[in-house]
Chains A and B, each alone.
Chain A
Amino acid sequence: MIPLSWYLILSAALFSIGLFGVLSRRNAVAILLGIELMLNAVNINLVSFWRYGDVSMMAGQVFAIIVFAVAASEVAVGLALVISVYRSRNTVIADEIDLMKW
């Protein structure tokens, strides 16, 4: 049986890669892709803790499903924001969307 910590390390690695993508990419759509990867890494954690804990407690899987729904709504609103910004400013580069920058 695979130790729990290996799943946690894999999940941490995926989360860190996603976080780096969020912080380093300039394309707003690519930033949303990084957020998706981070949510996915969280889901691996939830399901593996469910599997290695008390299997009759379904909280891990239920949480994972709720994270799916949150990810779907986040993508819908995020992409709508990107389209809206592209219409008004004709760019998707995060550095150039600086209307509210002080």
Chain B
Amino acid sequence: MTPDLIAFFVLALIAIAAALGMLLGRNVVYSALFLVLNFGTVAVFYILLDAPFIALTQVSVYAGAIMVLFLFVIMLLGTETLPVSKALPWQRPLAFVLALILAGEAGYLLFFRKVTSGTIPQPVQTFGSPQAVGQALFNQYLLPFEVTSVLLLIAMVGAIVLTIKEKGGQGK
């Protein structure tokens, strides 16, 4: 076993366990913190895949900004835990059966497909660098980049409009 494989397995275990913890936690604050751990391990996956810029963006944007926003809203609303409710009785076994079928199909397709695996390109230092990403972003993919900026503007305006209190109204 090479160090690569060992690192992959350990990280994959941590990532799956953190995702399950996110899923099963009763308290939403714990769910959010488990998701931060998951994002951190995924960032290490990006480094394994020779994409350091994506990895650092993942840490700063996802694990930093987005999750802090989540934690602020959770604590602002004070809805960390909710009363448990009874779900539909047949829902859980049906969900497990369907999930097993889905996992079986995916595993079958990915493992037993006749694949002619070509040679994996050697890691090239320059292709994951911020310079290469920026050049691709501003030359070849300029229009998607501008569309993204418009999308961010719309999201900002939408967030402000949705949360602003109307003056002189009922103060809903």
Question: Chain B 26-42 against A: per-residue CB contact (8 Å), 1 yes, 0 no?
Answer: 00100110010011001
Cβ contact within 8 Å between A75 and B66: yes
Which residues of chain A are within 8 angstroms of B103 by Cβ–Cβ distance? 13, 16
Within 8 A of A (CB), among B81-110: 82, 85, 87, 95, 99, 102-103, 106-107, 110
Which residues of chain B are within 8 angstroms of A69 by Cβ–Cβ distance? 148, 151-152
Smallest CB–CB gap between B4 and chain A, Å? 6
Cβ contact within 8 Å between B8 and A68: no
Q: Which of A9, A12, A29, A68 is close to B73, meaning CB atoms less than 8 Å apart?
A: A29
The distance in angstroms between the C-alpha atoms of A88 and B57, with both chains bound, is 36
Which residues of chain A are within 8 angstroms of B31 by Cβ–Cβ distance? 30, 33
Cβ contact within 8 Å between B158 and A80: yes
Q: Which of B51, B107, B155, B163 is close to A74, meaning CB atoms less than 8 Å apart?
A: B155
The distance in angstroms between the C-alpha atoms of A13 and B42, with both chains bound, is 13
Which residues of chain B are within 8 angstroms of A74 by Cβ–Cβ distance? 155
Quick check: is B10 within 8 A (CB to CB) of the other chain?
no
Cβ contact within 8 Å between B124 and A55: yes
Instruction: Name A51's closest neighbour in chain B (CB-CB).
Output: B49
The distance in angstroms between the C-alpha atoms of A68 and B39, with both chains bound, is 12
Instruction: Name B136's closest neighbour in chain A (CB-CB).
Output: A58
Query: Nearest 3 CB-CB pairs, A to B?
Result: A73-B155, A58-B136, A80-B162
A66-B145, A73-B151 are known; give 6 further A-B pairs, CB within 8 A. A14-B19, A14-B38, A26-B85, A29-B73, A40-B39, A59-B141
Chain A residues within 8 Å of B, Cβ to Cβ:
1-10, 12-14, 16-18, 20-21, 24-27, 29-30, 32-34, 36-37, 40, 43-44, 47-48, 50-52, 54-56, 58-59, 61-62, 64-66, 68-77, 79-84, 86-88, 92-93, 95
What are 5 A-B contacts defined by CB distance under 8 Å?
A: A14-B19, A21-B22, A33-B32, A47-B49, A58-B137
Chain B residues within 8 Å of A, Cβ to Cβ:
4-5, 8, 12, 15-16, 19-20, 22-23, 28, 31-32, 35, 38-39, 42, 45-46, 48-51, 53-54, 57-58, 61-62, 65-66, 69-70, 73-74, 76-77, 79, 82, 85, 87, 95, 99, 102-103, 106-107, 110-111, 115, 117, 120-121, 123-124, 127-128, 132-133, 136-137, 140-141, 144-145, 148, 151-152, 154-156, 158-160, 162-163, 172
